[in-house]
């Protein structure tokens, strides 16, 4: 009987330090100077597990490990520490409701912690960067709560879980670095889980319907205990209490009509060709080609639009179609160079604070000509709807 009990105890001890191949784990690559003891203190919940690691990995000398050696570490043993998210760009206004219910305005550099909620104001947008380098862009009227922000030791594996209450979010998720990597967006009607991809999530506040559109990679969308894998170039829609609909092919990117190298016409219209199955179009304007913030956004049923009043300079426009389910398609992006606001004429004579008698002041002729042409274009467009050369 005693020998039987000893055998049971021995088997229990053995199994307690053996990890099944299918268990979630972190594979660490040994660097010069690493010791198993130092590694365990830094990364494990219980540093005394270093002996178990030695047995699991068959390490002969835990004080002098060969660089390049791969160590299997059960993820359940690794420290999970809270991490912050960071606001990296903002246009307009937004507020951050902290876990203690206090509210503060958001600026570039604002730090977001577990339990905080971000609310984006009217005509505003912002981007948030996470510990693994993943980035989300939120648009006007969006509200998102940060339900989980953590990292497993020095593994690079980050667990990020958000809840989008309403609004729109674009996600650029970094590829997973291990079994512990996780990026999940929950909405009132669905849960999206990814492991490195670009996708969009929208929640309409009136009915809590979620729409997910995948640009790169794939996304697992779960609703009412049913999961659908949505591949790049497809989207789905999830209503509260319903399963995700079958993947829908995204509309192709619209084809733009001719865009001049430099736009000098006031109220110039940007046009594009009709998309089959499109019920509308979304147009966005940004100073950056990655659209981390959006200056202007419009949804229209027309196939052309005038641009908003913005300073001269270089911009990027993004246009995509919207189908009958409200699922948005692939986008076309074009660079626009605006030069519709001429510089005021430069006075050459008299000099500043000087007086001229018996003559007329001199101005820079090029600026005067540009000003005259602009005035001519404006009047003709307003009155006669005609061009001015």
pLDDT tens for each residue of 203-246: 987 789 999 999 999 999 999 989 999 999 999 999 999 999 99
Q: Is the pLDDT of residue 308 over 50?
A: yes
The band of 366, judged by pLDDT with boundaries at 50, 70 and 90, is very low
Residue spans in the chain of domains classed CATH 2.60.40.10: 269-338
302, two tokens: 């027309």
User: What string of DSSP letters covers 88-147?
Assistant: EEEES-EEEE-TTS-EEE--TT-EE-TT-EEEE-TT-EEEEE-TTS-EEEEETT-EEEEE
pLDDT tens per residue, range 155-183: 888 999 999 999 999 999 998 887 788 89
| Residue 68 confidence (pLDDT) | 86
Q: Is the pLDDT of residue 108 over 60?
A: yes
CB 143 within 8 A of CB 205: no
Mean pLDDT, residues 247-273: 95
The H or E element that residue 368 is part of is helix 365-379
Least confident of 88-97, 114-123, 173-182, 216-225: 173-182
Which class is domain 81-249? mainly beta
pTM: 0.78
CATH of domain 269-338: 2.60.40.10
What contacts 340, CB < 8 A, 6 or more positions away?
263, 264, 265, 266, 268, 312, 374
pLDDT tens per residue, range 335-359: 999 998 765 555 555 566 666 665 5
Residue spans in the chain of domains classed CATH 2.60.120.1440: 81-249
Mean pLDDT, residues 357-365: 55
CB 51 within 8 A of CB 86: no
| Residue 212 confidence (pLDDT) | 97
């Amino acid at each position: 009987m005693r020998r039987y009990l000893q055998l049971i105890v021995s088997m229990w001890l053995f199994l307690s330090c053996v990890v099944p191949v299918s268990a979630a784990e972190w594979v660490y690559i040994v660097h010069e100077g690493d010791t198993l003891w130092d590694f365990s203190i830094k990364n494990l919940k219980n540093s005394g597990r270093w002996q178990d690691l030695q047995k699991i990995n068959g390490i002969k000398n835990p004080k002098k490990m060969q660089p390049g050696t791969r160590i299997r570490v059960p993820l359940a043993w690794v420290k999970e520490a809270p991490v912050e998210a960071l606001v990296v760009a903002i246009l307009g206004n937004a507020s951050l409701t902290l876990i203690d219910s206090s509210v503060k305005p958001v600026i570039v550099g604002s730090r977001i912690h577990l339990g905080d909620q971000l609310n984006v104001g009217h005509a505003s947008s912002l981007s948030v960067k996470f510990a693994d380098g993943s980035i989300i862009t939120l648009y006007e009227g969006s509200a998102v709560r940060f339900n989980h922000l953590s990292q497993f030791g020095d593994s690079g594996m980050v667990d990020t879980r958000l809840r989008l209450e309403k609004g729109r979010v674009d996600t650029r998720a970094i590829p997973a670095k291990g079994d512990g990597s996780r990026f999940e967006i929950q909405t009132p009607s669905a849960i999206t889980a990814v492991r490195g991809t670009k996708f969009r999530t929208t929640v309409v506040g009136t009915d809590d319907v979620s729409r997910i559109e995948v640009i790169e990679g794939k996304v697992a969308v779960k609703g009412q205990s049913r999961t659908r894998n949505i591949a790049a170039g497809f989207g789905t829609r999830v209503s509260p209490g319903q399963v995700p609909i079958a993947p829908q092919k995204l509309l192709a990117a619209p084809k733009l009509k001719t865009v001049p190298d430099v736009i000098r016409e006031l109220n110039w219209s940007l046009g594009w060709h009709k998309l089959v199955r499109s019920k509308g179009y979304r147009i966005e304007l940004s100073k950056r080609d990655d659209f981390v913030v959006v200056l202007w956004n419009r949804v229209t049923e027309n196939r052309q639009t005038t641009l908003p009043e913005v300073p001269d300079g270089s911009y990027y426009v993004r246009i995509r179609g919207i189908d009958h389910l409200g699922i948005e398609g692939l986008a076309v992006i074009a660079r626009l160079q605006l030069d519709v606001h001429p510089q005021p004429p430069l006075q050459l004579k008299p000099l500043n604070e000087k007086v001229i008698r018996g003559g007329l002041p001199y101005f820079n002729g090029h600026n005067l000509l540009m000003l005259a042409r602009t005035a001519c274009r404006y009047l003709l467009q307003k009155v006669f709807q005609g061009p001015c050369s």
